[in-house]
Every structure is written in C-alpha cells, then in structure tokens.
Structure 1
Amino acid sequence: MQGLRARDLMTPDVVTVPPDTPVTAIARLLAERGISAVPVTEADGTLRGIVTEADLIRRLAGEEDEPPGWLGSLFADPEALADRYARTHGLTADEVMTEQVVTVGPDETAQRIAHIMEERGIRRVVVTEGGRLRGIVSRADLLHALIAPPQPESAELSDERIRRAVLAAMRREPWVDTFYTMVEVKDGVVTFHGFRRSDAVQRALRVLAENVPGVRKVEDQTRPVPAFIYVAS
C-alpha cells in the first residue's frame, strides 16, 4: 500500500440521497444495490451525513422501546432521550442519519485510513474536499490495495542500506532488544543472530524485516534468552 492515497482507493461513483428521502426508500436502495451505507448530500454535493445499516436497524429496534419509569426518568438525560426518539422514529434521511461522519481528504494515505478504521471500529471513511463528497473508501478497497502488485524499485538497494533500514525500524519498536539481536544482510537476505525474548518477538522481527524495501528473504538464527541474561521489559 506504499504511496497509495485516498484518491487512488476510493469509489468515486457513490450512490447518494437527498435529506428528505424516506427511510423506506433508503432501506430498499441498500437492499437492491447490495451496499451497507449511503451518504446524504445537498444538491451541490455538500455532505450532510450518512445513513448506514446500523442506523436503520436502530430505528427498527426503537419500535420496541418503552418509556422510562418514574424512577428512571429522574436520572434520564432529556437530550439523549430526545435524540434517540428522533432517530428511532424518523421518517426521512436527515432524521435518522449519522451526522458525525468520519472523513478524510483525497491525499490521505492508505496507512492512515487503515489506522482510522481500526481505531474507530468503522467499515468505511468518506472522502471529501471542501466539504463536498468525492468518494468512499471501504475496508474492501483497502484489501484490494493490500494485494495489489508492488511497484518496482527504481534501483536495487545495497545490502548495507537494507541493513541500516532494518536496524532503524528495530530501534523504533520498544519490543526489540537491539543489544542482544544482531542483523546481517547478504544478497537481500536478512539474517537475525543473537537472542530473542519470546516467540512473539521472533515472529514480529520477521514481519518487521519483510516490510523493509529490498528484502528478499528473512532467516532467523536467534535463540531464546538464557536465564543468566537479564532483558529489561
């Protein structure tokens, strides 16, 4: 995914609905198109919000809501109750939509988008520019980027440059014991020597090296840390 941006990953031809679209029409649209969300926009493309499957399910579930009892009403938040009532009884897109939409710009990196999705626990981000909808990047789009063929290197990297890159990556990770783990590179093959703290560290070192440009193969010749060696945690 190195170098890919939101503009490279996004689906630009996004189905949208105006704010006054009936909820029943939105449900039918999602079912017929096989999509899980639809942005709500003004006529000029300005993003107002998004209606997701979760919003529609929330509305359906809200039909079973019962008003809080006398004791519960004493501690209830009127604003929260009013907001839920509007969302669960709304008849149009602007009444049930999620207004706090997670958006990114067209130049946002694929790595940052993946981090946002993981951190927020969401399935998509909306790409906007100047407040107007430009596209949507979904988890599926990121997966396609992950399996895309890597771009060819402009020049073959020397073993020493690869070694320095691996060491630099190791120093950035708190779980790496650089004092006890040594790196050798020959013909693009990275070999780890020395000691490792655990099997998890062994696996992570392999992954770290595999992600360094120019690495053709990774070999691990490290051994478990002897009991007489103290490794700081």
Structure 2
Amino acid sequence: MNNNSIFIEFTKISDAEIFCCLNAIDLISPSVSFISSSSFSLNINTEYTNMVLYAEDIMRKNCQIVDGSISAFEGSRIMAEKQQGFVIIGKENVPEGIVTEWDFINKILSKKIDPSKITLKEIMTSPLTSVPSDTPMEKIANLMAGKGIRRLIVVDNNKLSGIITSRDILKFFSEYVSDMVEIASKFGIR
C-alpha cells in the first residue's frame, strides 16, 4: 500500500471529537481496501477540522508593492534580495501589475534590452488575475491551472492582501499530507 493512496475523511462531531473514516486505495491494483470499517473518535489538531481551505489560509501576507517607475534592474535586485521570482507593481497598496522572472527573460533578455533603461511598468503583466481572501482553494487551483499562472494576487477592497504561489500550494499540501499520513500511521496504516 502506498502512503500517497491514503484518504481520510473527517466529520466534526464537537470541538473535541472528529468522526474519522480511514480509507485507502491501492493504486497498483484496482481493488479498494477499507482500512477501518468501524467509526471512532479522534482528537486532532483543529487546523484540519475545517476541510475547506481559503486563500487567506495559505497566502503570503505582508507583500511589498513597488513603484512601476523604477528600472527593471532595480526590480531584479529587489527580487534577488527577497529571494522571490516576482515583484508586485502598484501604489498605496493597490496592485496594478506583476513582473516575474519570465517577464525578464521574455521582454528584456531575449530582446537584448538593457534592464537599467526600461521600467517595471513597461514590462509588467496587467491586468492582474486576482481573488478575494475568502476564495476556496479548489477555485484557486482551477483558476491558476486554467490560466497557466504560478502566482495569484489576493485582493480585498481593492487593496493587496497577499499572494499565492504554486510553491506555497505545494508546500502547504505536502505538510498536510504528511500530517494525514502520521495520523493514519497511528492506526497501523502504512
């Protein structure tokens, strides 16, 4: 049985108890194995009692907005300093666009343009694709996949609340799956 094939369903009974049904599918064979046919109560971290995740649950907060009039060279220095592949362009916490490493490759390097002679506003992607912080994770994943984007701006009342990157999603779900596998292993599931 593969650890990645474990599915755990939770139903909240009270603040202290969760009804838990552990199911597993052996991905090698077409048969379905039910690990537990009985129900039981389990005290778990309440972080996972609400199984619907929203943008606010995984977004990076306190994102810096930079002025689009600075040079692409200065923008690249900010990206390097922050160790991130993007800068958000705007004013007074109102996002107007985004510049990613792809914009540098596609709009500057491939055209042999001097990055100190072009502004971020000239190469930014705009209009932005954005969602409010109460957007469910399923909608976010579908939107990012459908548009082929790796970064999604979170905006509330026309102000920047945060950003979600594909890396943030992978990190969150990696930790989530690890936690679920740990819970399942307590019941003899490997």
With the shorter chain as reference, the TM-score category is 0.5 to 0.7
Q: Structure 2 residue aligned with 1:109, among 132, 136, 154?
A: 136
Q: Structure 2 residue aligned with 1:10, among 20, 40, 59?
A: 59
* Distance in 2 (alpha carbons) for counterparts of 1:125 and 1:90: 28
**Is the Cα–Cα contact under 8 Å of residues 60 and 163 in structure 2 kept in the other structure?**
yes
Corresponding residue number in structure 1 for 2:123? 96
Q: Does 1:136 align with 2:163?
A: yes
Q: Does 1:50 align with 2:77?
A: no
Query: How far did 1:33 drift?
Result: 2.1
| CA deviation map 1:61-94 (0-9, x unaligned) | 1228xxxxxxxxxxxxxxxxxxxxxxx9961111
Query: How far did 1:130 drift?
Result: 1.9
* Distance in 1 (alpha carbons) for counterparts of 2:68 and 2:81: 20
Q: Percent identity?
A: 28
Unpaired runs of 5+ in structure 1? 65-87, 151-216, 218-233
Tell which has more relative contact order, 1 or 2 (C-alpha 8 A, sep 6+). 2
Query: How far did 1:145 drift?
Result: 2.9
- Greater Cα offset, 103-112 or 10-19: 10-19
TM-score (norm. length: structure 2)? 0.61
Letter paired with 1:109: P
Corresponding residue number in structure 2 for 1:23? 72
Unpaired runs of 5+ in structure 2? 1-47, 181-188
* Distance in 1 (alpha carbons) for counterparts of 2:153 and 2:139: 13
- Please provide the CA RMSD for this pair: 2.4
* Distance in 1 (alpha carbons) for counterparts of 2:167 and 2:103: 21
**Is the Cα–Cα contact under 8 Å of residues 71 and 116 in structure 2 kept in the other structure?**
no
| CA deviation map 1:12-70 (0-9, x unaligned) | 0213211211111011121232211110011x211110111111112121228xxxxxx
**Is the Cα–Cα contact under 8 Å of residues 50 and 97 in structure 1 kept in the other structure?**
yes
TM-score (norm. length: structure 1)? 0.50
Corresponding residue number in structure 2 for 1:207? none
* Distance in 1 (alpha carbons) for counterparts of 2:144 and 2:161: 18
Letter paired with 2:145: E
Letter paired with 1:45: N
**Is the Cα–Cα contact under 8 Å of residues 73 and 116 in structure 2 kept in the other structure?**
no
As a proportion of its length, which structure holds more strand?
2
* Distance in 1 (alpha carbons) for counterparts of 2:130 and 2:117: 24
Corresponding residue number in structure 2 for 1:62? 111
| CA deviation map 1:77-118 (0-9, x unaligned) | xxxxxxxxxxx9961111111112210110001111111111
